[in-house]
Chain A
Amino acid sequence: MKRLVIIILSLFCFSFAKAQIAIDTLSTEALNQLLIEQIERLAEDSDDDADFEDLLDNYIFFSENPVNLNSDEVMQLVELRLLSVFQYEEIQKYRRYYGDFMFLEELEMVEGFDEQTLAIIKPVVCIGNDESKDKLTFNKLARYGKHQIVGRYEQILERQQGYAPVDDSALLAKPNSRYLGSPQKYQLKYTYNYRNKVRAGFVLEKDAGEMFFTDKVSDTIRALLGSNYQRGFDFAGLHLYAKDLGIVKAAVIGDYQLAYGQGLTLWSGMSFGKAGAGSSVMKQGRGITPKGSASEYSYMRGAAVTLGGGPFSGTVFYSNRKIDANVSVADSLDEAELVSSLQETGYHRTIGEIQDRHAIRQQVVGGHLAYAIAHFEVGYTLHHTWLSVPLQLKPSHYNQFYFQGQQLTDQGLDFKYVKGKFAVFGEAAMSHNPDVKAPEPVEGPTQTQAGFNYVESSISTSSTTLGFAGLVGMTVKPAGYLNFTLLYRNYGKAYQNLLGNAFGEGSRNQGQRGVYLGVEAAPAPYWNLLAYVDQFQYTWLTSQVNAPSNGHDYYLRVSHSFSRRANAYLQIRSKTKMKNSTDAMVFSHYPILYTKNSVRFNINYQIGKDFHLSNKAEYAHYHNEDGTNEHGYFLCQDIAYKPESKPFSLSFRYTLFDAKDYNARIYAYESDVLYSFSVPALYGKGMRIYLLGKWKPFSNLTLYARIGRTIYSDRDEIGSDLTLIEGNHKTDLKVEMIWKL
């Protein structure tokens, strides 16, 4: 009898364990899906090739190093938008009433946790004791720390024009017509982590086209590049981070990111902008985070420390790094140097790019003070930036209020109050630039149109050394399944900040005001709705917009779960903004309205245990007042085979796309090797396929390989200038190795 009981019990345990695994794979899918949607939205909203590596790094970090549900670390999930601030409050409330969590399943009993949220956060949380008070010993660091090495190679297999052979004289005549390096991209990354408490690492990277050890250039070119001539890894970064060491809440040496308040004063890394749910419009500053990615722009290099005790905490930081800029000698008499622009791409491939490499030094010093009690938090941020060479932009109407000169001071006050069904937050900031001078007369287009009269009349009053900006918002949750968010922002046209990244249209928190209203609801079981309206005005001209302009952004997304194995969503978006007319018949370019609408349907489903399928269809429509009308279509089928019991998995996608022009382009996130992302903007007419394989020959070694090909049916050459490929196909290859110890 006893044996029988044991057998039954062990059978029960066994089936329970199996069920647990099934839940976990589902969960990772849900988390992946969330990440995919976030990155797609970010890609659509960012104007240029944005770098999401930093963001991706953070998500992957938490999915591999789950946070302890019984500690304050859970706040970091709010910062990554995996939890809403109300859900965080509910977790804390639960812990106060019932004590620490003992099982993950307890989360189901916490108010506001539906199946979807659980699916998303289960892979990134674990149950443990609060270890923040643990003493660190060298022994523990050596024995329990986790090491990881990631090596990656990638390349476009077809030859791009920038890599075509060329002789010296032709290259000197057109110095930026070739890349000096080889077409391969290499990245090597090492990270160390001890229970999320001590982290360290380094990263080395060489982008495609940058010179590696084996690349050769002639002596003439070498002489031309002078001290900028350098081969090997173009980017190297290092970080050492620790937290919860007595009164030292966090400390870092090397590369790091800082994020405080609502991002108006200081937010150096990636920011979500409008992507994501309404309730997460309220930002959660993450304070100091180490930066392990190879993103080459917008980060701090130096040291930072946060000290805390009781309700107070204070941070001081210093950053000193060289940045890329175009330096010219302004005046031949005193040989004063000036910078005409800052380069943000991080690429050093052509002679011009190499000459701009690390041309000036940027130093930032600052700090943040915070006072936090139960539901209320207030913070003050101050930082000061120096450039080694003054920045003087090419004079134009639109950049009249942009940062110029050599020094900039920003300070801001932020607050947050979250209680029960109500959250209110805001930040006010002020910038001071001592170098602002009265604007000089600008040579521009003929100023005959009505829009320019505005420019003329306001020029005289525009020189001020001070700039102001502010935002205030609130979220209310009248019922568990419903919340509304309202946000008002007003960023003065003279507000300058090189390190801010607050909510707004576009990435520049300057010369903009607007109102955002968002709603999140679960109107019926298995149905979710997300919608927002954002109306904004630019109070000054912007690039390619010759008058103050306005626009709006409407978004609606309805999602439904047919079962735990199948879910679908429909997303409709309409965005209207203004841009100069390109009509050749008019004498001066005045802004006209343009609208981009898109409708997307996406369905994901799982077949059996091992197959994950998904379909996506998208339609994009672009039109403007000049009468341009463009349509784009996109259809794809994904098939992923991820057997639980085998050490490999495969993903495949087949895509058809048909978008006449770039304006009707469609962004589609593609599965990629870990720590890398691919969101190609597809336009033209053709098909695209990719195959991604993952193989885990040993428990500590994972290999990835991915090959993708786009075949166009409407053209015989792809791209232009340096990226021109002769032929109708473009093939990309990536290989990655991850080794864990």
Chain B
Amino acid sequence: MFCFSENLRYICTIKPNNMKKLLLLIFLILSTSNIFAYDFIHPMGGRAAAMGGSSVASQGLWALQNNPAGMANLEKMSLGLYYENRWLLPETAYKCGAFALPTKFGTLGLSFNQFGSSKYNENKIGLAYAKDFGRYLQIGLQLDYLLLKIGNDYGSFSAVTFELGIQSQVTDKLTLGTYIFNPVNFSFEQTLNHEKLPIVMRFGLAYKFTKDFIGQCEIEKDTEREGVSLRGGLEFEAFKSFYIRAGVQTNPGILSFGIGYGIRFAQINVAAQLHNELGASVQVGMIFSLGK
């Protein structure tokens, strides 16, 4: 939870029609102090968003952010863009870009994400590397540079940390994954209230019930938040390359659903998340596979 007073100050510059919702958001932040955490570690990608945020055992380009081990088996050079309009407020938008390059030494990746507006934003730049060790084990690492900017001359604060992930295809049907952000508890060099950078640990599994039906679930512990978050999602390939997805998340309680469609070199995933008090969020992600 980041400095309320600063947040309140920048609220005053926001358009009146969004004011009510934002005040509700602030109220919830103050009452539960649970919904709002740093977004450096927010799961990325339209697929994860539609499946309740569960992503620790999935593969693909967005694994770069969700569990870097998952991009070890990427076949083609890929570029991804992702936009999340949380609670339909422009001030809480979440933008990401990612690029991954499979080489014979393993997959290299570069990611960027930004949350917030010009008055308050969180930025992360990551350099990732993932490698598979045989069919059964993938390991991924991402080095991060984090930058927190607060408007009205409060300045900006930076930190350096890393994330680690492993994934394992234990059987043809079962994949397990673990991910830890900031395992050795680095923190910001200096902040107003000595905010701690959290340690975040996730683990979970993906289970392929049939060729076209996948279930995922995971648990997340963020050391700067009360309790744990449980996430689960289902994906069904209704037609060739057309996916229907749904998911659920606790703490905060969110229901989500979405669709995805892929053509030869591009894939688009759209998701919507519903929170009981804060309303809907919309996520759109696109992945382009480059080269042959």
> Which residues of A pack against B, CB within 8 Å?
562-563, 565-566, 601, 603, 605-608, 611, 613, 615, 617, 619, 631, 633, 635, 637, 639, 654, 656, 658, 685, 687, 711, 713
B134 at interface, CB cutoff 8 A: yes
CA distance A631 to B205 in the complex (A): 25
In the complex, identify which listed stretch (B41-49, B81-89, B90-98, B165-173) lies at the interface while the others stay far away.
Answer: B165-173
Closest to A611 in B: B137
CA distance A608 to B168 in the complex (A): 10
B13 smallest CB distance to A (angstroms): 35
Q: Is the CB of B183 within 8 A of A713?
A: no
Closest to B171 in A: A563
Taking CB atoms, residues of chain B closer than 8 Å to A605 are 168, 170, 176
A715 smallest CB distance to B (angstroms): 14
B110 at interface, CB cutoff 8 A: no
B161 smallest CB distance to A (angstroms): 14
CA distance A631 to B225 in the complex (A): 13
B144 smallest CB distance to A (angstroms): 18
Q: Is the CB of B227 within 8 A of A631?
A: yes
Q: Is the CB of B227 within 8 A of A565?
A: no
B219 smallest CB distance to A (angstroms): 5
Q: Is the CB of B228 within 8 A of A633?
A: yes
For this complex, 25 residue pairs linking A to B, each with C-beta atoms less than 8 Å apart, are A562-B170, A562-B171, A563-B170, A563-B171, A563-B174, A565-B170, A566-B174, A566-B176, A603-B176, A605-B168, A606-B170, A607-B134, A607-B136, A607-B137, A607-B168, A608-B133, A608-B134, A608-B136, A611-B137, A633-B227, A635-B221, A654-B201, A656-B201, A687-B223, A711-B185
CA distance A613 to B166 in the complex (A): 10
CA distance A603 to B206 in the complex (A): 13
B249 smallest CB distance to A (angstroms): 16
Taking CB atoms, residues of chain A closer than 8 Å to B174 are 562-563, 566
Taking CB atoms, residues of chain B closer than 8 Å to A603 are 176, 205
Q: Is the CB of A713 within 8 A of B205?
A: no
Q: Is the CB of B203 within 8 A of A615?
A: yes
Taking CB atoms, residues of chain A closer than 8 Å to B219 are 601, 617, 635
Q: Is the CB of B223 within 8 A of A685?
A: yes
Q: Is the CB of A619 within 8 A of B228?
A: yes
CA distance A563 to B173 in the complex (A): 10
Taking CB atoms, residues of chain B closer than 8 Å to A685 are 223
Q: Is the CB of B180 within 8 A of A654?
A: yes
Give the contacts of B177-220 with A (CB-CB under 8 A): 178, 180, 183, 185, 196, 199, 201, 203, 205, 219
Taking CB atoms, residues of chain A closer than 8 Å to B171 are 562-563, 565-566
Taking CB atoms, residues of chain A closer than 8 Å to B134 are 607-608
Using A563-B170, A608-B136, A615-B176 as known contacts, say yes or no to A635 and B196 having CB atoms under 8 A apart. no
Closest to B180 in A: A654
CA distance A631 to B178 in the complex (A): 23
B91 smallest CB distance to A (angstroms): 30
> Which residues of B pack against A, CB within 8 Å?
133-134, 136-137, 166, 168, 170-171, 173-174, 176, 178, 180, 183, 185, 196, 199, 201, 203, 205, 219, 221, 223, 227-228
CA distance A435 to B88 in the complex (A): 80
CA distance A617 to B133 in the complex (A): 26
CA distance A563 to B136 in the complex (A): 14
Closest to B138 in A: A607
Q: Is the CB of A635 within 8 A of B168?
A: no
Most buried by A among B137, B170, B178: B170
Q: Is the CB of A637 within 8 A of B185?
A: no
Taking CB atoms, residues of chain A closer than 8 Å to B137 are 607-608, 611
Q: Is the CB of B201 within 8 A of A637?
A: yes
Closest to A617 in B: B219
CA distance A606 to B136 in the complex (A): 9
Q: Which of B168, B176, B221 contacts A658 (CB 8 A)?
A: B221
CA distance A145 to B252 in the complex (A): 64
Q: Is the CB of B223 within 8 A of A713?
A: yes
CA distance A654 to B134 in the complex (A): 24
CA distance A711 to B199 in the complex (A): 12
Using A615-B203, A633-B227 as known contacts, say yes or no to A687 and B185 having CB atoms under 8 A apart. yes
Q: Which of A563, A637, A658, A711 contacts B180 (CB 8 A)?
A: A637
A601 smallest CB distance to B (angstroms): 8
CA distance A565 to B168 in the complex (A): 11
Q: Is the CB of B178 within 8 A of A658?
A: no
Taking CB atoms, residues of chain A closer than 8 Å to B133 are 608
CA distance A563 to B174 in the complex (A): 10
In the A-B complex, the 4 residue pairs with the smallest Cβ-Cβ separation, listed nearest first, are A566-B170, A607-B136, A607-B137, A615-B203
CA distance A562 to B207 in the complex (A): 10
Q: Is the CB of B168 within 8 A of A613?
A: yes
Taking CB atoms, residues of chain B closer than 8 Å to A563 are 170-171, 174
Closest to B202 in A: A635
Taking CB atoms, residues of chain B closer than 8 Å to A607 are 134, 136-137, 168, 170
Taking CB atoms, residues of chain A closer than 8 Å to B166 are 613, 639
A614 smallest CB distance to B (angstroms): 10
Other 20 A-B pairs with CB < 8 A, given A562-B173, A608-B133, A654-B201: A565-B170, A566-B171, A605-B176, A607-B137, A607-B168, A608-B137, A613-B168, A613-B176, A615-B178, A633-B221, A633-B227, A637-B201, A637-B203, A654-B180, A658-B223, A687-B185, A687-B199, A687-B223, A711-B185, A713-B223
